[in-house]
Chains A and B, each alone.
Chain A
């Protein structure tokens, strides 16, 4: 590829069942483009965690994926309650998710930490009562 590819995906907050669909689509697209398996895997995991967070905490949102020859930039934006203490939220094991989310296999306080673990850059902008933007970059 020589030009940037931009894709936007809506993430429904209504149904936990469909969380991850956008990540699956980005993963398939990157495979088609011919990205390295390692980069694809890292993007897929980080974006998936972001999608799950949107569904659990923010009643959905959207994902904007910008695919360049040498990197993938992803923005996950929601209009949820916002994150009061980003430093605390980044700590492994810290979670504000309700118990029913844990019974679904998430809410262990690993989401944001996993996103950081698998990406080359990550930035969070959040305002209480307004929403959250998470920017991640994975280099090819």
Chain B
């Protein structure tokens, strides 16, 4: 359930603007106040406790889980954005919560592995590889 976007830590990887992530994932923007925000690392998981356990840097979450706890998890981790994979679209309650917290939501039709792989190949890392 947890797909980390790292090889050797964050070596050779750099921050990426959200607008480039949207382009790479051919994603639809559900809510976003600032597409120029810098994303430092990313984490792909459908289990929120795994994200809560391992995400250390200011990161973006990719997930197939669509419920308000996705946004809550992002809030606790100071994540500026959440990507819903497999074309999932959140309901109005989730979008409302994201707006209140200032967390961008985007949706891509790519599956989890492909979405993570496309971002990693373009230079976005997964942060530290320490567990």
Contacts and interface: CB of A to CB of B under 8 A. Distances in A.
Given A105-B47, A105-B69, A20 B76 contact: yes
Interface residues of A, number: 26
B49 A108 contact: yes
Interface in B63-85: 63, 65, 67-70, 72-73, 75-78
Contact of A27 (B63, B69, B76): B76
B131 to A, nearest CB: 10
A23 B76 CA distance: 8
A37 interface: yes
A contacts with B: majority SS: helix
A19 B53 contact: no
Interface string A98-119: 0000101110111101100100
Contacts of B67: 16-17, 104-105
Interface of B: 1, 46-50, 52-53, 63, 65, 67-70, 72-73, 75-78, 93, 101
